[in-house]
Amino acid sequence: MIKEEELRERYNPDNLFKKKGQIVEDNKINQEYTQLIEYKEQNIFKKILSKIMKLFKKNN
């Protein structure tokens, strides 16, 4: 009997549309907190240093 009541609550057609509204609201909240990350290029010194380090790592 308890399982039947749980199934009835879960799959009740009246509640199906209410759940969709909650999902849409959750998606809106997630989109608000999503931000773009600014990509910064390495300066010339770091590029040269990283290439030199790669050469030493390849030789070992």
Backbone angles phi, psi at 40, to 5 degrees: -110, 130
Q: Indicate the pTM of the whole model.
A: 0.31
DSSP states along 4-30: HHHHHHHT-HHHHHHHHHHHHHHHHHH
> Residue 57 has which token pair?
């790592």
* Predicted local confidence at residue 20, as pLDDT: 57
pLDDT digits (tens, 9 = 90+) for 1-52: 788 888 887 777 776 666 555 556 666 666 666 666 777 777 888 889 989 9
Distance (Å, whole) CA 49 – CA 1? 71
**Cβ atoms of residues 9 and 15 within 8 Å:** yes
* Predicted local confidence at residue 28, as pLDDT: 65
Higher pLDDT, 57 or 37: 57
> Residue 56 has which token pair?
């030493």
